[in-house]
Amino acid sequence: MNIAILSRGPKLYSTKRLVEAAKNRNHEVEVVNPLQCYVNITSHKPTVHYKDRVLNNVDAIIPRIGASITFFGTAIVRQFEMGGTYSLNESVAISRSRDKLRSLQILARKGIGLPISGFAHSAKSTDELIKLCNGAPLVVKLLEGTQGKGVVLAETYKAAESVIGAFQSLKANFMVQEFIKEAGGADIRCFVVGEKVVASMKRQGKEGEFRSNLHRGGTANVIKITPEERSTAVRSAKAMGLNLAGVDLLRSNHGPVVMEVNSSPGLEGIEKATGLDVASKIIEFIEKDARPGNTRTSGDG
């Protein structure tokens, strides 16, 4: 099988591990920088060009599209889909997961546990928005933020009012969420491939830090998840339409709640914490699932 990994970072841990796993299973694999691709949309046969050639013999793609290039990156994924190439995560699913508000609305519709979340435009709604989320402390989160950036814990009502006012003055899109104090600055990353949780880890924020992101100095350890947490993770990935997902959960007093569903989860933290060969599990899934035209959206939507 010819596999293309859409990634801007051939030296990144995740990209290197996927290349290694694919080669170990006797596949041809190439790392393709999506920003160096261009497309022929008007042709009877849609094509993707990379540098000076047409990528016309690709059986499957693994999108590793960074948040900063979602628009262009998903356009390239969509073009591959239009040509019948199998994509591990489809363009529509990636776009859904990148829109924090839309993804929570989809999860809520499916009855999946979530922290109480509020969204408003008018400054006149600030007081009601804070009350909606059970008052302070609460979390104010930029919708465009990644890796814990643009996430603020407002510990008092006045602090919440100030942060919300600051974001509104910048015309930033944000939402407000209840603070799950009982989580103790820890979350659980469930790594879903297909309809299975293949690995899970507990991420603990450093002392005094409520965000558990490894990029912010958090630590990771292997954890045994409950059947309810496993089911929540699988249902969340399925609701997004993702074959590969990192589902972030918090343990609340009323069961697991989903914070985010990531369409390009990193492999380094999960593999080092669990000792599992997650990259090979991804390639194994592609072997079973990939075939020409096996896309739910065929590039539309």
pLDDT in tens, 202-223: 998 766 555 555 555 578 899 9
Question: Is the domain of 247 the same as that of 105?
Answer: yes
CATH number at residue 146: 3.30.1490.20
Question: Is the domain of 228 the same as that of 278?
Answer: yes
Residue 299 covered by a domain: no
Rg (CA), the chain: 20
CATH number at residue 190: 3.30.470.20
Give me the sheet containing 186-193, strands edge to edge.
Answer: 219-222, 196-204, 186-193, 244-252, 255-262
pLDDT (tens digit, 9 = 90+) per residue, 75-90? 999 999 999 999 999 9
Question: Is the domain of 82 the same as that of 109?
Answer: no
Residue 301 covered by a domain: no
Residue 229 covered by a domain: yes
Question: Is the domain of 280 the same as that of 137?
Answer: no
pTM: 0.88
pLDDT at 121 over 90: no
Question: Is the domain of 217 the same as that of 105?
Answer: yes
**pLDDT of the residue at 283:** 98
Question: Is the domain of 74 the same as that of 199?
Answer: no
Question: Is the domain of 59 the same as that of 190?
Answer: no
Residue 289 covered by a domain: no
pLDDT (tens digit, 9 = 90+) per residue, 131-158? 999 888 999 988 875 655 788 889 999 9
Residue 298 covered by a domain: no
Which residue range is the domain that position 52 belongs to? 2-88
Q: How confident is the model at residue 298 (pLDDT cuts 50, 70, 90)?
A: very low
Residue 103 covered by a domain: yes
pLDDT (tens digit, 9 = 90+) per residue, 6-65? 999 999 999 999 999 999 999 999 999 999 999 999 878 889 999 889 998 999 999 999
Question: Is the domain of 42 the same as that of 57?
Answer: yes
Which of 179, 206, 233 is the endpoint of a domain? 179
- Count of the separate structural domains present in the chain: 3
- 7-16, 154-163, 278-287: least confident range: 154-163
Q: How confident is the model at residue 125 (pLDDT cuts 50, 70, 90)?
A: confident
Q: How confident is the model at residue 299 (pLDDT cuts 50, 70, 90)?
A: very low
Question: Is the domain of 25 the same as that of 71?
Answer: yes
CATH number at residue 57: 3.40.50.20
Residue 294 covered by a domain: no
Residue 226 covered by a domain: yes
Question: Is the domain of 224 the same as that of 104?
Answer: yes
Question: Is the domain of 163 the same as that of 204?
Answer: no
Question: Is the domain of 186 the same as that of 259?
Answer: yes
